């Protein structure tokens, strides 16, 4: 039976910390809060699990935990560290191991919540029972709260031991485990400090944007007024039909045509205006931008609509969102270290990785006074890695001699450069004959022949992709040079389509996963070095790019140093081809 004890006096908490420091054995720490927001919600308690059992520390005494010196184990430590930091309890100098990160390294396909991990390894469902009984944590009586928190911490500690041996057994290198943790620590800094937002500029851009959108919508309406009014009339009639009473009918407002509704838009374009119907690959009728591009010139509304859509996305997705999420001119994004199956990170609230790279939106993010942004990205990283893995003769020429991949493909296949470019992306992601036919604008037979010419140009690449497929068939997963494994297997009951889908992921996972780890490791080194030198800070990576914020007098130094660090990552995994990096620097806003 697990001992769970609530410490009610400051002296008890203090003695516990002394005791734990003296023992210097790993302990698990888990916080309970009223919610997930470290700004809005408050701390309820902190549970600590050690060899003696679990101890519950009340929020009012939690500050003593900052003097802990023993190794810590947490499940999703970024959450606990950030939350405690905002409550004035700074643990960020304390190293730790994270059972969520470890679990992800073990199996990227599983969910990684503590709940799921406990179910998987210990089969205890106390969490489910708890949440079925109480709606919020505070609803539970104190002893139920303590039992829940105590078990969470205790299981985290047990989980750590289980995961340690599992990682060893699976052949996940300890170096990779360390790299992932160090990277998470670097991202924690950015999450805590945030990135400065130019609120004035957001408002300016937003206003201009809004004015243009309103003008566009007015013109759009006028360009097909009759059809729109017909649709509105029918929508109105349908709404009236739904209401039974006269009073209900009277309350119905005449609907206004909604340009954002794909249903209404399809009705307008294809039924009322009689434009040629466009279909997606899945043979569904669509009016996405690709479809609209085909209709360009056939009706004046198309051109306006495409612009309106783009502006609307920027307005709602990036400007309004930024204003809502900023606090005193600072944006606090979240980074999910195990948000992907390949080893890339994902970002949210906001997703800084999906900010439009053109159109000036990135300029809303600004450097701190006296600092500048520097961005460094790997030049054609995926092609370089494909050359390394496949040792394909032509890919090696591209990487070593600086010959253009797209030119080479255009020559080998016999098509225009722009199509060759699309082809290169498509084929490394596993596109089939149909997609190739679409790209080249030809029939299936011709696509087949073009495909043959493509693989004749890059025979080594073809052989490597085939090898990836073979690894999938063997069912052992694909391990990249850092030791991260992508577990892919074709289910026994899979049909040909499903099987092909799994195989498509294989090659891409190796390339994408290696590229991400390369970038993240380089980023971590920058972050640590910049911090030690007091030159500023590293902000975040974007898949194959690193963004840092540096005191302006060190911009030249860091522009060169970033490149050194990033290129050197290739040597550390014995890459057989050189990495190349391009640096853009010295901007006071994030815009290149």
Partner DNA sequence: TAACGAAGCGCG
Partner DNA sequence: AAAGCGCGCTTCGTTA
Chain residues binding DNA by CB under 7 A are 258, 260-264, 266, 280-284, 286-290, 292, 309-310, 313, 316-317, 320-321, 336, 339-342, 344, 346-351, 353-358, 377, 422, 425-426, 429-432, 434-435, 495-498, 500-501, 504-505, 508-509, 512, 542-545
Neighbouring CB atoms inside 10 A of 144's CB total: 16
- Cα–Cα dist 112/101, whole Å: 8
- Cα–Cα dist 93/98, whole Å: 15
Contact 377, 545 (CB under 8 A): yes
* Of 21 and 208, CB closest to DNA: 208
Which 3-state string (H, E, C) describes 23-78? HCCCEEEEEEECCCCCCCCCEEEEEEEECCEEEEEEHHHHHHHHHCCCCEEECCHH
Q: How far is the CB of 402 from DNA (least distance, A)?
A: 20
Contact 34, 138 (CB under 8 A): yes
- Cα–Cα dist 394/458, whole Å: 6
Burial 224-253 (b: 16+ CB within 10 A, else e): beebbebbbeebeeebeeeeeeeeeeeeee
Cis amide leading into 482 (omega within 30): no
* Of 45 and 375, CB closest to DNA: 375
Q: How far is the CB of 424 from DNA (least distance, A)?
A: 8
* Of 199 and 426, CB closest to DNA: 426
* Of 67 and 357, CB closest to DNA: 357
* Of 193 and 316, CB closest to DNA: 316
Sheet with strand 545-551: strands edge to edge:
536-541, 545-551, 371-378, 581-587
Q: How far is the CB of 377 from DNA (least distance, A)?
A: 7
* Of 16 and 292, CB closest to DNA: 292
Pairing of strands 72-74, 96-98: parallel
Q: How far is the CB of 453 from DNA (least distance, A)?
A: 18
* Of 394 and 512, CB closest to DNA: 512
* Of 281 and 492, CB closest to DNA: 281
Secondary structure of residue 127 in the 3-state scheme:
helix
Q: How far is the CB of 351 from DNA (least distance, A)?
A: 4
Q: How far is the CB of 10 from DNA (least distance, A)?
A: 39
Side-chain-side CA neighbours of residue 581 (13 Å):
27
Q: How far is the CB of 486 from DNA (least distance, A)?
A: 9
DSSP E strands in 224-341: the ranges are 330-331, 334-336
Q: How far is the CB of 469 from DNA (least distance, A)?
A: 13
């Amino acid at each position: 039976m697990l001992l769970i004890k609530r410490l009610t006096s400051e002296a008890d908490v203090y003695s516990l910390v002394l005791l734990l420091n003296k023992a210097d054995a790993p302990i698990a720490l888990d916080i309970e809060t009223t919610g997930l927001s470290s700004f809005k919600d408050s701390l309820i308690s902190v549970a600590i699990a050690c060899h003696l059992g679990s101890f519950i520390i009340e929020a009012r005494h939690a500050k003593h935990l900052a003097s802990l010196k023993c190794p810590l184990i947490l499940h999703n430590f970024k959450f606990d560290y950030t939350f405690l930091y905002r409550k004035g309890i700074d643990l960020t100098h304390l190293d730790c191991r994270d059972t969520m990160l470890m679990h992800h390294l073990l199996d990227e396909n599983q969910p990684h919540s503590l709940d799921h991990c406990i179910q998987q390894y210990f089969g205890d469902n106390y969490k489910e029972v708890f949440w079925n009984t109480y709606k919020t944590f505070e609803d539970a009586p104190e002893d139920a709260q303590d039992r829940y928190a105590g078990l969470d911490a205790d299981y985290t500690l047990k989980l750590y031991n289980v995961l340690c041996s599992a990682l060893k057994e699976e052949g996940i290198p300890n170096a990779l485990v360390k790299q992932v943790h160090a990277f998470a620590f670097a991202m924690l800094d950015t999450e805590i400090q945030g990135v400065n937002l130019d609120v004035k500029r957001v408002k300016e851009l937003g206003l201009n944007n809004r004015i243009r959108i309103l003008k566009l919508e007015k013109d759009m309406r006028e360009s097909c007024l009759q059809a729109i009014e017909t649709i509105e009339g029918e929508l109105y009639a349908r709404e009236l039909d739904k209401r039974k009473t006269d009073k209900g009918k009277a309350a119905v407002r005449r609907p206004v045509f909604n340009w954002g509704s794909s249903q209404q838009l399809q009705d307008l374009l294809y039924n009322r205006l009689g434009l040629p119907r466009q279909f997606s690959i899945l043979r569904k009728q669509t009016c996405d931008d690709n479809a609209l591009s085909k209709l360009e010139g056939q009706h004046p509304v198309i051109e306006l609509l495409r612009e309106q859509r783009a502006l609307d996305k920027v307005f709602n997705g990036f400007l309004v969102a930024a204003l809502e999420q900023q606090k005193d001119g600072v944006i606090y994004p979240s980074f999910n270290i195990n948000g992907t199956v390949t080893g890339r990170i994902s970002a949210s609230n906001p997703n800084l990785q999906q900010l439009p790279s053109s159109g000036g939106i990135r300029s809303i993010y600004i450097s701190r006074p006296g600092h500048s942004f520097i961005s460094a990205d790997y030049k054609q990283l995926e092609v370089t890695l494909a050359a390394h893995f496949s040792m394909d003769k032509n890919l090696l020429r591209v990487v070593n001699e600086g010959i253009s991949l797209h030119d080479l493909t255009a020559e080998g296949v016999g098509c225009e450069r722009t199509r060759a470019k699309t082809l290169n992306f498509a084929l490394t992601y596993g596109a089939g004959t149909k997609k190739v036919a679409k790209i080249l604008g030809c029939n299936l037979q011709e696509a087949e022949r073009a495909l043959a010419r493509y693989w004749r140009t890059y025979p080594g690449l073809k052989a490597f992709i085939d090898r990836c497929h073979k690894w999938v068939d063997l069912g052992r997963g694909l391990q990249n040079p850092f030791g991260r494994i992508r577990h892919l297997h074709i289910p026994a009951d899979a049909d040909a389509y499903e099987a092909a889908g799994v195989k498509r992921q294989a090659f891409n996972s190796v390339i994408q996963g290696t590229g991400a780890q390369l970038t993240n490791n380089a980023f971590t080194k920058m972050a640590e070095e910049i911090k030690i030198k007091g030159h500023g800070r590293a902000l975040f990576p974007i898949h194959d790019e690193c963004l840092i914020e540096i005191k302006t007098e060190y911009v030249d130094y860091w522009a060169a140093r970033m490149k050194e660090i990033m290129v050197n990552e290739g040597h550390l995994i014995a890459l057989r081809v050189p990495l190349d990096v391009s640096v853009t620097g010295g901007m006071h806003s994030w815009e290149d």
